[in-house]
Structure 1
């Protein structure tokens, strides 16, 4: 699959709106439209459409706030929604690598992610991508960190 990430625009909004998660995953990540609304009112967020073979296949929302009091909020992946039809095809790993590359461009030394534990949840995916639990929990979610060495 030919993958890229792109800024949100009127040309990809309909595809973002139509994304569907696999059954049971809705409890682990906010709906795409809620994420877009949150990005609109939170200037430190970095929302991007994930495009595969010319079609929208997901949404990632990172946050870049180097002045945050909490390390977990300084540079991290806040949301990652991948359409059920595109799951298992390397989309998520591609996105984590792209966000990590952006973090390096920004001089970030550690990328974080918050995720809920549970069957069908994203924790094992993030562990497979190299994130390590920090031992911290925020909002009932596990915090993972990835060194940008």
Structure 2
């Protein structure tokens, strides 16, 4: 049996329980909201939220949610898109699913004409800073809610 590798699925009544069952490592829980929180935000902000389940070989391995053309400052002067949430199941980490998720969001943003991708991360030894820096994100000198803001050029 051959596998096709990871893919993104739209959330549906058939797979929402799989998404809700995703658990990250306990030492990462301070750095990202649970999937249920993300789905609630997607429900109340459908105009900017882009939630997807990451599936490989028939199993849910992670969840991502992008933000599309969000009003960053809340005053209409700065519109941005990027990765809002990334939850990779604890026992699936280190297998390239996080990289796949980031690349998938970057591909979607390029498809929509985007030239930059934003992400925020909690600083600290158990945070994902090294992961995002390794993928080419650069801190832009801003913070948002105590988190570092990073940007990846897509052009």
User: Do they fold alike, i.e. is TM over 0.5?
Assistant: yes
Alignment match, 1:32: 35
1:123 deviates by 1.0
Q: What RMSD, in angstroms, separates the aligned Cα atoms of the two structures?
A: 1.5
1:7-30 alpha-carbon deviations (Å, 9 max, x no partner): 101121111111111121100000
Aligned with residue 61 of structure 1, among 61, 65, 68 = 65
Equivalences for residues 1-149 of structure 1 within 5 A: 2-43=5-46, 44-65=48-69, 68=72, 69=76, 71=78, 74-149=80-155
1:2-61 alpha-carbon deviations (Å, 9 max, x no partner): 200111011211111111111211000001101000000002110000101111111100
**SS across alignment from 2:140:** strand
- Where has structure 1 moved over 6 Å in runs of 4 or more? none
For structure 1, the residue ranges without an aligned partner over 5 or more in a row are none
| Cα distance in 1 between the residues matched to 2:53 and 2:9 | 5
Larger Rg: 2
| Cα distance in 2 between the residues matched to 1:89 and 1:102 | 22
| Cα distance in 2 between the residues matched to 1:117 and 1:70 | 27
